[in-house]
Amino acid sequence: MNKGNKLYEGKAKIIYETKDKNLVIQHFKDDATAFNNLKKAKVEGKGVLNNRISEYILTNLSQCGIKTHFIKRLNMREQLIKKAEIFPIEFIVRNVATGSLTKRLDIPEGTVLERPLLEYCYKKDELEDPIVSKEHIYSFGWATEKDIKEIDIITLRINDILTGIFRGIGIKLIDFKIEYGKAWNKEINKNEIVLADEISPDTCRLWDMKTEKKLDKDRFRKDLGNVIQAYQEVARRLRIMPEETNISEVNFGKATSIKFKKK
């Protein structure tokens, strides 16, 4: 699939058009940002790992009946996805209180929530992605009541599936952020809601079950060090990366392939 013009460049990814108007290429960069772009760095190999981890997770979700934008991984950094019109909302699910929730409402860090907590944030960098209510979403036409009803159900199913996947590899899924869009389904000749963007250690909080060691982007946000090693650990535990591969030793300038395991 040939890459066409750049359609959009975000903080961690670039979207390119293809010859097919309904398909685009999603390219994973090594750039890491936090605190609304105030903190920036390159984490060599992050894009490669997120591409592979997100492929694995979205494929598993799709096997459980969740509709996603993912079609196939093209190479180390790129995947072919359905072009989707993204809702300007970040859907956040929390199982354990940490991060902005503890600050905003003074909830003790690590409180296990009785049931998953769903939050909505308006995707607007200039406003630092503020938390909003469903009423805001409906009032300003960011999504309809019908859309949100459907998305809430899918989001809670995703939380159940992801919790199980990570529990199976000794990791607690603390919280995560997902995005949805509307994409064309040529089989039914209609637009439908699909899970979009990515699911990776950039977008989830993942704590080792026994030690509570952070295996996610908080290592970057909080200067905990060993960022890439943590992402690599997640890939290893998911058994999509052979034990012997050390991604920090791979030359990404020249390399065109790393041997990832096929499941």
Closer to ligand 5GP by Cβ: residue 82 or 205:
205
Which residue number, 58 or 101, has a Cβ lying nearer to ligand 5GP? 101
Write down the least CB distance from residue 190 to ligand 5GP, Å: 30
Q: Smaller CB distance to ligand 5GP: residue 82 or 217?
A: 217
For ligand 5GP, the binding residues (CB under 6 A) are 90, 92, 99-101, 129, 175-177, 202-205, 217
d(C-alpha 171, C-alpha 216), whole Å: 11
Q: Quote the CA–CA distance of 164 and 115 in Å, as a whole number.
A: 15
18 or 216: whose CB is closer to ligand 5GP? Answer: 216
Q: Determine the residue with CB nearest ligand 5GP.
A: 99
Smallest gap from Cβ 100 to ligand 5GP, in A, equals 3
In whole angstroms, how close is the CB of 192 to ligand 5GP at the nearest point? 25
CB of 254 to ligand 5GP, least distance (A): 28
Distance CA 104, CA 85 (A): 30
Handedness of CA 101, 107, 111, 112 (dihedral sign): negative
The residue count of the chain comes to 263
Contact 201, 119 (CB under 8 A): no
Token digits for 186? 């040529």
Distance between CA 39 and CA 216 in Å, rounded?
16
Beta-carbon contacts of 2 under 8 Å, excluding residues fewer than 6 positions away, are: 18, 19
Q: How far is the CB of 66 from ligand 5GP (least distance, A)?
A: 19
Closer Cβ to ligand 5GP, 52 or 217, answer by number = 217
